């Protein structure tokens, strides 16, 4: 299969999906989401585990350029697509391991929250900066993040938009392991898991995620709807325009 926004590398028992929009800091588009799902479906029978990440950056979040002239319904539908990917990670029969390096922001961080194991490089920068644009997190930041790090720390990240270091993220419980080479560590863990009984691994993942994801789909839909509503606000459009103008001058 041909891909433009990702690269798929198949190894013995392990499939690695690299995000392939490095010039755009691997910001997420609907097309990128479609390619990730298509790639994961194509290897579901041939691999024992999936590794996901970017060579220089995990993802700086959703591509803000697509929000400049977007209406409420289109904004809602885009975040429903992100939710589809997050839920797909959780329901996927194989372990999904993410390696986080560079920027891990906004929708990028939110998608990582639905992977099964998160390995973080010591140079990573993580955050939920959406509030700076007048929008809310729309792919699990308001729903999944509090369940991972607790209500108060989640509100700190959401309401201030401040970025945190890898060590802070580890202290928060936002990531599972720190490593000076997160991709290599992800491969080590995938190899270890692949030595375990295949059906037991699949059953264990399904059991944990079914319990943890109770009612999640409805909550994510509510969050996406609020994102769409905020997208129509005048101050949101102004902030997005300023962000894009500033970005254009860089």
Q: pLDDT tens digits, residue range 61-102?
A: 887 776 666 677 777 787 788 889 999 999 999 999 999 999
Looking from the CA of 78 toward its CB, the CA atoms found within 13 Å total: 26
The residues that are catalytic are 110, 130
Q: pLDDT tens digits, residue range 143-200?
A: 889 999 999 999 999 999 999 999 999 999 999 999 999 999 999 999 999 999 999 9
pLDDT of residue 62: 80
pLDDT of residue 151: 93
How many whole angstroms from its chain centre is CA 49?
17
Residue 13 or 75, more confident? 13
pLDDT category at 12 given cuts 50, 70, 90 is confident
Alpha helices in the chain (DSSP H): 30-42, 72-91, 106-112, 144-149, 151-160, 166-172, 182-194, 198-212, 216-231, 234-249
Q: Which fold has domain 6-182+192-196+216-249?
A: 2-enoyl-CoA Hydratase; Chain A, domain 1 (3.90.226)
């Amino acid at each position: 299969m041909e891909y433009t926004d990702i690269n798929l590398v198949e190894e013995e028992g392990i499939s690695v999906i690299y995000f392939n929009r490095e010039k755009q800091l691997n910001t997420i588009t609907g097309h990128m989401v479609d390619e990730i799902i298509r790639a994961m479906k194509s290897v579901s029978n041939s691999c024992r585990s999936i590794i996901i990440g970017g060579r220089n950056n995990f993802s700086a979040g959703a591509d803000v350029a697509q929000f400049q002239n977007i209406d409420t319904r289109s904004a809602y539908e885009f975040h429903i697509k992100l939710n589809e990917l997050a839920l797909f990670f959780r329901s996927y029969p194989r372990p999904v391991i993410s390696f986080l390096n560079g920027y891990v922001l906004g929708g990028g961080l939110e998608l990582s929250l639905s992977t099964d194991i998160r390995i973080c490089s010591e140079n990573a920068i993580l955050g939920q900066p959406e509030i700076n644009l007048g929008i809310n997190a729309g792919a699990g930041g308001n729903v999944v993040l509090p369940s991972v790090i607790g209500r108060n720390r989640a509100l700190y990240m959401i309401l201030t938009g401040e970025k945190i270091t890898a060590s802070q993220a580890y202290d928060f419980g936002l990531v599972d392991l720190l490593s000076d080479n997160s991709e290599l560590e992800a491969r080590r863990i995938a190899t270890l898991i692949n030595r375990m009984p295949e059906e037991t691994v699949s059953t264990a993942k399904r059991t944990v995620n079914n319990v943890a994801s109770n009612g999640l789909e409805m909550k994510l839909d509510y969050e996406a709807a609020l994102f769409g509503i905020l997208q129509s606000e005048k101050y949101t459009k102004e902030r997005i325009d300023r962000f894009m103008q500033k970005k254009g001058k860089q």
